[in-house]
Amino acid sequence: MKFSTFFRTVLCLCALLCVSSAAVARQDSASSDALITRGLVAWKKGKPQDFAEAYRLFQEAAKTNNADAQFHLGIMHMEGQSVPPSDKEAALWFKRAADQGHTNAQFNLAQILNDSRPPSYTEALRWFSEAAKGGHAVAAYNTGLFYYKGKGTQKDAKKAADYYQLAIDRGYVLANHNLALL
């Protein structure tokens, strides 16, 4: 009898901890979303001091592993807003957001990998493909180009056509030309 009472108490405490953890996670998410909103408002003003404030707010939100904040920090590093321009730093922030499924971060990371010296075509293809799966039309087009040219993979006209069609279906009409040439 005493064991079952103890067991029930432990289960209740575990449930309480789970509910408390979920509430804290929701609160962290809400506060990081508020920080991002404030950061975007500052960023939109476009002055150096506003970029600095936006960067600070995005950094604070990124501490909660917020993919949108990480993406915006990547943009700021890429554009040199409040920080020196650095594709290396931008790629680090984009990778953090991309690993969480942030489609635009996946696309931007792929662009940096494609344009780096030396280029990392295999990794660029991986991230273009992920972004395409997430609905990014230009990423679908770029994935098609990689398969067509054999960049980071074997040439594959069928996969190229499939990705061009996906890009077209998502509204990227320039892919029509490439699809017609296959």
Residue 126: partners with Cβ closer than 8 Å, 6 or more residues away: 110, 152
User: Would you tell me how many other CB atoms lie within 10 Å of the CB of residue 119?
Assistant: 14
In the chain, the N- to C-terminal Cα span, in Å, equals 75
| Mean pLDDT confidence for 139-151 | 98
> pTM of the predicted model, to two decimals?
0.81
What is the number of domains present in the chain? 1
pLDDT of residue 43: 83
Burial class (CB in 10 A: 0-12, 13-18, 19+), 153: middle
- CA–CA gap between residue 149 and residue 144 (Å, rounded): 9
Question: What percentage of residues in the chain have a pLDDT greater than 90?
Answer: 74
Q: Is the pLDDT of residue 8 over 80?
A: no
Question: What percentage of residues in the chain have a pLDDT greater than 70?
Answer: 84
pLDDT digits 0-9 by tens, 81-133: 999 999 999 999 999 999 999 999 999 999 999 999 999 999 999 999 999 99
Domain at 123, CATH number: 1.25.40.10
Q: Is the pLDDT of residue 74 over 50?
A: yes
Containing structural domain, residue 103: 2-181
